[in-house]
Structure 1
Amino acid sequence: MNASPDSPDSPDSPGSPDAPDAPKGRGTATSDAPAAASGKAAGGGMFASLRVRNYRLFFIGQFLSNSGTWMQFVAQDWLVFDLTGSTFAVGVTTALQFLPVLLFGLFGGVVADRYPKRRILLTTQSAMGVFAALLAVLTLTDAVTVAHVYGFAFLLGLMNTFTNPAIQTFVVEMVGPERVGNAVSLGAVNFQSARLLGPAAAGPLIAVIGSGWAFAVNALSYVAVIVSLLAVRTADLLPSRPQPREKGQIRAGLRHVREHPKLLWPILLVGFVCTFGFNFPTLLSGFTYNVFHGGAKEYGWLTTAVGVGALGGALLSARRRSGRPWLLVATAAGFGALEMASSLAPRLWVFGLVLVLVGLLSVVFSTMANSLVQLATDPAMRGRVMGLYMLVYTGGTPIGGPVVGWVVEHYGARSGILACGAVATLAAAVFALALTRRGPRPATP
């Protein structure tokens, strides 16, 4: 995500004559080191943004909360599979979790442009903690049904609709434009580290004492991120100017993306790859039970394998200085090819090793796309653009989840993951052709 333009004079890059002004605020992002030029890690290499106090506190709180969230994801999917024995039901759960993003994602971006990001996050994180606690109580008292899980999955997704664009824009307010690429990359490191820890803890926990305690741990984890938000020094933030309530704000955001190919192309490619290629819960539950005849522990291991690769991908992204559209396309193609190769794995451990590489490329792809979009966005439009990005990034899952679940249930897990990889590879080929038609040397955002 720390991809940057090749030079400070490139169009739409921070500091260029044609670029939008940097966000204006009441203070400065306090740091122990000076900021570097845009596109490079500012005064601290890979971990530059952690020198900023507000971001450092938020990073710690997010890590603890993300770890609990990943525990809940594993517990939720396994609970549904245990109650129904159906991979299609797991796909429906995943779809309901992301359906609100599809329905209300653009409005979530408008809210992020209108209101203080910290206030939005305090509200959504508190609500999500309450939802997790209620699901824990229902599960621990043996009163839980599939309908309950479906309902809470939808409610959590609804809160994420407002959380995601708010976090994306709040990061810029904490660290400033000089460190935004590095901060987004470190956010991916945070998320993927939690993705490694959460499932690794969830598998044995579910196997020994059940899914309910995983939900309880997640409920407690929200306290950490709420405390970190309360500890933020608001005087040090660099808030963008709140946008007034007006008609047509969603249309204005869509028009802005449509008129800027540097925003449009990465968002479209992300949509195709993520809708099918990123349906890991549906695919892994089917592989664990139907192909390798495993249980909750093996499912946790496979999810952890994806997390190990994803963490490596996030660290690799944090070290990168720039990203290009062609590199984004190549990464998407490599991701799809590896998914197709994983369908041939003869043993569980071989499948796990391939999943490490799949996880690595999935994060390199998504962080690069995120960075390209962030760096090309007008600050006044950032909430709406990132709302659209998150809609495409996560909102495609309600479409892909049930489709992938149906394919796995009727044609087998191997056919399902083969088809998902084929879609990602084909999408990359189509966009490579589109870039070729734009010219021999596509412009770098």
Structure 2
Amino acid sequence: MTDATLYREHLEILDGYLQRALEEARDHGVELKGVLFHSGREVEYHADDHPVNFKPTPHFRRWVPVEGPEHVVLARPGQRPRVVVVRPQDYWYDPSPIPESYWQGEVDVTEVGGFDQVAAELGNLTWVAYVGDSPAAAGELGVPPHLIEPAALMYPLDWYRAYKTDHEVALVRDACEDAARAHLAARDAFLEGASEYQIHERYLEAAGELEKETPFFPISALDEKCSVLHYQFKRGREAAPGTVLLMDAGAATDGYASDLTRTWARHDADPVFHQLLAGVDAFQRKLVAGVRPGASYVELHLEAHRHVARLLAEAGIFKVSAEEAYERGLTRPFFPHGLGHHLGIQVHDVGGRQTSSSGGTTAPPEGHPYLRTTRPIEPGHLLTIEPGIYFIPMLLEPLRSGSDASAVEWGLVDRLVSCGGIRIEDDVLCTAGEPRDLSRDLLPGPRG
């Protein structure tokens, strides 16, 4: 867990980023004296009175770990942040006060009973930009429309989100601890013969989180469903016990996410699948070691494809050399997603394809459209490394019926379809020296 000292240093760094962002906005013709970060406005499902599960907006959350809608942070360079907490009197929902925590002594906190009191508390806001999800709320506060998330401000704010402070790293590490404990509980449930639903429940109990508190809907996939990259269901006893479990799930601490994946196989799973599983775990460690200053995340992604080609050739799935398989693009149906992404307040954190703090987009290489990160790796970047091998019928059928069909041993592929796939994922911080894996010491891989 973090503490007041780390949080104080965090605010000092954010103040520096804010100053730079305002200077860059000024260079593009947007004159500002500060930024108003809004936690967001609660909305209801269409034609219903039931609210959509609320999550504070990420830029607000970087300043304070306050749950709930309508709160604001007024940030001005060189000044203590002003936090206005909106706590309406209510008997339908619990209006409990915010628990005392490390952050409250480092900011100026005011509590009001409704959003209509925020403007009176803060005064004239025509000189600040609004960052949040509700143009209506910005209007109620008197923020001019052209200062609602102006691009000249958002580009640098998004860009600097990639540089994690020690405070942020501590929160992600804490979230990794909770997720690792839950992953081990899920693995044990799988080995006991539990269903996807039961594994899911065991995970949540061990993590100590409600489903809505997790940073994303946990994936607990058995057997052939391991090939569904974002598998969204939970089967019951009819699909248990499984031979293979792919568990992709995280936890959250003060709004910061962990994102871990492990694939486990019973001893009686196909021996070729066991060979591939050990191989993916081994080369994932080599990729983690490549998270260094100045390294190319794109090149790490392509290196993962070269490892996949080697493993599939060694296993007899490719009937051509690993080099030829890679050059012909044969690995792409077996590894169709990107190597990973930036991680932080959002699971897929912002700025991964951004070219600079002034904006722009650096596209992924041809043939790899789902690579989420293309910017060079720098100290402070927190990235997931999550290679995989999958047997996805929808992607394999065009290969089977195409001109490259003879390069694949289809009998072996068909044998492995019931195993689904493999993914191994850890959360890795780039430092000035060796990369720091925030999760592997907490959650071993399938090789132990």
Q: Tell me if both proteins adopt one fold, taking TM over 0.5 as the criterion.
A: no
- Larger relative contact order, structure 1 or 2 (CA cutoff 8 Å, min sep 6): 1
Q: Which structure features the higher share of helix residues? A: 1
Q: Judging by fraction of residues, say which structure has more strand.
A: 2
